[in-house]
Amino acid sequence: MPEPTSTPSAVEAEPWYGARIVPDGPWTRRAACRAPDVDPEWFTTDEDAAGADELIAKAKQVCRGCPVRLWCRIHADETGEYGVYAAETHSERVRRQRAWHQAAADADAAEQVSA
């Protein structure tokens, strides 16, 4: 990725170049993020970029009213793609999934002890 010549403003935050576009399919056609007034860069901004908090907040607001949020979350969990999906950033999804895996491991360990 080329080095930026200046720090981007909140509305010019650098997109993360590894982000993928949500696939075209029956559920994605109903996604709120596909609305014409929604900027796709809100969903693919690098979480560490200058001004990213503002853009991520806009993306999450769109997600909160989305009719296909569950499908979006499943897609993000299955693919591990970077970006805001179902009102979660990549980092938030990773933390949630780690907590789930730890809880499952703890439950397995407790079951083995009691058996």
Does residue 69 sit within a domain? yes
> Each residue of 85-99: pLDDT tens digit?
999 999 999 999 999
Domain that holds residue 52: 10-114
Does residue 73 sit within a domain? yes
On average, the pLDDT of the chain sits at 83
Predicted local distance difference test score (pLDDT) of residue 8: 41
Does residue 34 sit within a domain? yes
Is the pLDDT reported for residue 54 higher than 70? yes
Domain count, the chain: 1
42 contact partners, CB below 8 Å, separation of at least 6:
55, 56, 58, 59, 62, 84
> Each residue of 18-27: pLDDT tens digit?
555 566 778 8
Predicted local distance difference test score (pLDDT) of residue 20: 55
Q: State the helix-helix crossing angle for 52-64 and 69-79, rounded to 10 degrees.
A: 130
Does residue 2 sit within a domain? no
Does residue 5 sit within a domain? no
Does residue 97 sit within a domain? yes
